Amino acid sequence: MSNTGGTKQQQQLPSYLTESLIKRSLEHDLQRTVTIDRFTAGPATAAGDNYLSDVYWIRVEYDGGSAEKRLLAKCMPDVGDRGATLDVLDAFRKESETFQHLLPEFSRLVSATGKEQFGAKCYYATTEPVRTIVFEDLKALGFRMCDRTKGGLDYEHMALVMRKIAKLHAASMLYAKQSPDHERRLITRYAYGLHNPLEKPEDSRILEALQKGLDKFISVASGWSELDPAVLRQLELIRPTFKERIADCVKPLQPSARYKALNHGDLWSNNMMFRYENETTVREIMLVDYQISTYGSPGLDLVYTLYNCPHRDIRLDRREDLLKEYHQVLRDTLKRNGYERVPSFEDVKEEFTRNEFYGLVCAVTFLPIMVMERSTDLDLSFDAFFKEGHGELIRDAQYNGTMFRQAVVPILHNLHARGIIQ
């Protein structure tokens, strides 16, 4: 008989986080019957750290107290705008398939021992009673997230990020080359990420939210003395077609792409967990949240990551160094596994540069969310962004943040000087 205790935190758990779910998860992994003795659970993320899902930690004792597991349940209830958005993005199907099938294959392709992991071990995935994926708890293995409110990752963290992305991309390229069926699977089942092309841009809730982000930025930044007025004039010209241009720029299968890979799709600091040596030296990274993964130009991952994740002190000044970190590992991994036509560093730079309009999108819509100071006064849930009035309060806090202002101005000046804001 389970005993979840009576703390306030545990009383707030949803009805679908049950002993039955935990039992099924363990039995699916162990391929045998288990008896649950007791479990405790609680929310695993803070407000503003996760949007499309509710995440809970679980500690379970089973088989007469002889065994214990630390799990993480990622739940995607069909409520409000989240449910409709998850359906449009095909997020649950994509993420459960990625964790259960693709990532283990990728690990075997790039490391004979399977030591190179691209995500947490997946125990179970179900749609009943709500869409849920159960993972091993990376925190129990010593991994932790960086604080997104500190303004971004330093060079050591970013170099590790770029090397991990390179291995992910290389593994997907090796997988695609194994057989026509593998490549067809990637093309058809990972055909889009942030925007479903079957949805008209004017009907997309996500694109509408990003449009409101641009509108808010223009309104707020018009009072910034340090921002070149020419930037704002160009943004005003972009505003009427912004949603359509976002939909176009995130198309993964680009005819001129020099190489193709599986993009993670949402590589910002809260979708990365790090493990340290002596509490200070970062040694290992694990990626989480593959809900909008997409197969196509790797420039999408490179741009999204290098615009959203680094600290402002290295975002522009050390961009080429970070792209070199990526290319070296991509090249070495592919060569070691006999891949023909390994992309050159020029190929990598071409994919990055050709997708830099997405960098503008990141700068004025995603970055203010990612560096927003924590608040106990605002509801930062996904649905809150779409509530009239409250959504505007959230955007006020995001776009007036000190760290955002310090970070975005040099980005926009750089994009404008190179003719990308047009």
Q: What CATH number did the domain enclosing 182 receive?
A: 3.90.1200
Look at residue 371 and tell me if it is in a domain.
Answer: yes
**Residue located via tokens 């680009």:** 254
Look at residue 234 and tell me if it is in a domain.
Answer: yes
pLDDT confidence of residue 102? 97
- Residue 159's contacts (CB-CB under 8 Å, 6 or more residues apart) are 322, 325
Query: For 94, which DSSP code?
Result: H
pLDDT confidence of residue 329? 98
Look at residue 109 and tell me if it is in a domain.
Answer: no
Query: For 23, which DSSP code?
Result: H
Contact assessment for residue 345 and residue 323, using Cβ atoms and an 8 Å cutoff: yes
Q: How far apart are CA 41 and CA 11, in angstroms?
A: 10
Q: How far apart are CA 209 and CA 211, in angstroms?
A: 5
Determine which helix (DSSP H) or strand (DSSP E) holds 59, and give its type and residue range: strand 54-62
| Token pair of 367 as six digits | 């970055």
Label residues 126-140 b or e (16+ Cβ within 10 Å = b).
beeebbbbbbbbbee
Q: How far apart are CA 300 and CA 295, in angstroms?
A: 10
Distances (CA, A) of 302 to 87, 244, 351: 26, 22, 8
- Rounded to a whole number, what is the distance in angstroms from the first to the last CA of the chain? 63
Contact assessment for residue 382 and residue 324, using Cβ atoms and an 8 Å cutoff: no
Look at residue 121 and tell me if it is in a domain.
Answer: no
Look at residue 79 and tell me if it is in a domain.
Answer: no
Q: Find, among 171, 179, 172, 108, the residue nearest to 333 by Cα.
A: 171
Look at residue 163 and tell me if it is in a domain.
Answer: yes
Q: What angle do CA 53, 105, 131 make, to 5 degrees?
A: 20
**What is the tens place of the pLDDT at every residue in 229-260?**
999 999 999 999 999 999 999 999 999 999 99
pLDDT confidence of residue 97? 97
pLDDT confidence of residue 392? 84
Distances (CA, A) of 344 to 20, 46, 300: 51, 41, 17
Structural domain range at position 286: 143-418
Report pTM: 0.92
Label residues 265-274 b or e (16+ Cβ within 10 Å = b).
bbbbbbbbbb
pLDDT confidence of residue 378? 53
pLDDT confidence of residue 279? 81
Domain tally, the chain = 1
**What is the tens place of the pLDDT at every residue in 151-185?**
899 999 999 999 999 999 999 999 999 999 999 99
pLDDT confidence of residue 3? 41
Look at residue 75 and tell me if it is in a domain.
Answer: no
Amino acid in position 8: K
Which residues of the chain fall below pLDDT 70?
1-11, 46-51, 375-390
Look at residue 119 and tell me if it is in a domain.
Answer: no
